[in-house]
Amino acid sequence: MRAITTTALAMLLIAGAGMSTGCNSMKQSSKPATAENARPVTGASSSTKSVAQELVGDWAIIDVKGHQVVSNEAEYPHMGFATNQDNPGWVDFYAYNGCNFINGVVALKGSKIAKQGDFAATMKLCHDAKYEMAISTALEQMKTLRIDKINNESFLYLIDGSGQTLMTLRKHNLNFLEGAWKVKSIDGQRVPSEVGIQIVVDLQTNTVHGNAGCNVLNGLVKVNMDVENGISFADVATTRMTCPNIAYESQFLQALGKVATATGNDSRAQLRDASGKTVVELERLSKADLQANR
């Protein structure tokens, strides 16, 4: 995930004393997708470069050898891919198998995938990591891959030499949400510009901070890998000043407590509840906005 510098706004959004107003996190379960309406992205004619570009990002492991992955742990089994700086045909990866972290490099040639050297792994002992061995074995046995677009989601299939699917993964990319935003609407109601609700989402530290319109707020960001673009806000606390626009602040804090997923791009984003309804609409803070906050 990319880092962002928001010094000007951060100076405004400093944590105050006497924090209150808790905000509960939410979580959904997810079932493996079917191939209905799937559009293959990779294939014999796909270039290695395009395959690598599709791979880059974070992926939740949702199925291992036909068994749906269900986890109540904070760290959901997942993989991440990043561009290798030394060789355009290689991709760096990391994986979490429910117990240990695995790092390595794979070479791509069209839809073929091959490990380069030995993988490095932590050596933690876990007695209840039921997917650990299967995921580690799948990483050793993968020979080809396929990426399908199903509706608005991307699914990665890692396949062995006999054509059997070893693992199914769903892409989980919230990079667009990183940085500074102003709140445009809450529950469909436009927020007047003078109210000035602004937040900074930091996915590097999994925190959120900002100005709720009257009070300074701070809280935690929880990324839920078991649902597409799953995210929630927890332990949100504010200072305790009273302002004329305090009603907007209360409405905003209540809406944050409902957030289960996020959609959007680098300029606009929607925070949605578990039913898919937009509860908060965000707009990227411009350089002029940041300058005004000094």
Give the whole-angstrom CA distance, residue 90 versus residue 52. Answer: 8
What is this structure's pTM? 0.64
Tell me the pLDDT tens digit for each residue of 119-168: 999 999 998 888 999 999 999 999 999 999 887 788 999 999 999 999 99
Q: Provide the pairing of β-strand 179-186 with 278-284.
A: antiparallel
pLDDT score at 232: 95
For residues 183 and 147, membership in a common domain is answered with: no
For residues 82 and 128, membership in a common domain is answered with: yes
* Type of residue found at 248: Y
- Closest alpha carbon to 25 in 192, 288, 236, 265: 236
For residues 183 and 168, membership in a common domain is answered with: no
Asked whether residue 109 carries a pLDDT value surpassing 50, the answer given is yes
**In this structure, is residue 86 part of a structural domain?**
yes
Asked whether residue 207 carries a pLDDT value surpassing 90, the answer given is yes
- In angstroms, what CA-CA distances link 31 with 75, 227, 275, 293? 18, 9, 16, 44
For residues 42 and 168, membership in a common domain is answered with: yes
pLDDT score at 49: 82
Structural domain of 162: 38-172
- Using pLDDT thresholds of 50, 70 and 90, give the confidence band for residue 288: low
34-46: average pLDDT: 39
| DSSP one-letter string for 103-167 | EEEEEEETTEEEE-SPPEE-----SS-TTHHHHHHHHHH--EEEEEEETTEEEEEEE-TTS-EEE
Counting the structural domains of the chain, the total is 2
For residues 139 and 223, membership in a common domain is answered with: no
Asked whether residue 2 carries a pLDDT value surpassing 50, the answer given is no
Q: Taking a C-beta distance cutoff of 8 angstroms, is the pair 21, 237 a contact?
A: yes
pLDDT score at 145: 96
Give the whole-angstrom CA distance, residue 65 versus residue 165. Answer: 7
Asked whether residue 269 carries a pLDDT value surpassing 50, the answer given is yes
Give the CATH number for residue 139. 2.40.128.270
Asked whether residue 29 carries a pLDDT value surpassing 50, the answer given is no
pLDDT score at 278: 97
Which of 15 and 181 is assigned the larger pLDDT? 181
**In this structure, is residue 1 part of a structural domain?**
no
Tell me the pLDDT tens digit for each residue of 66-81: 999 987 666 789 999 9
For residues 42 and 158, membership in a common domain is answered with: yes
For residues 194 and 256, membership in a common domain is answered with: yes
Length of the chain: 294
Q: Taking a C-beta distance cutoff of 8 angstroms, is the pair 106, 114 a contact?
A: yes
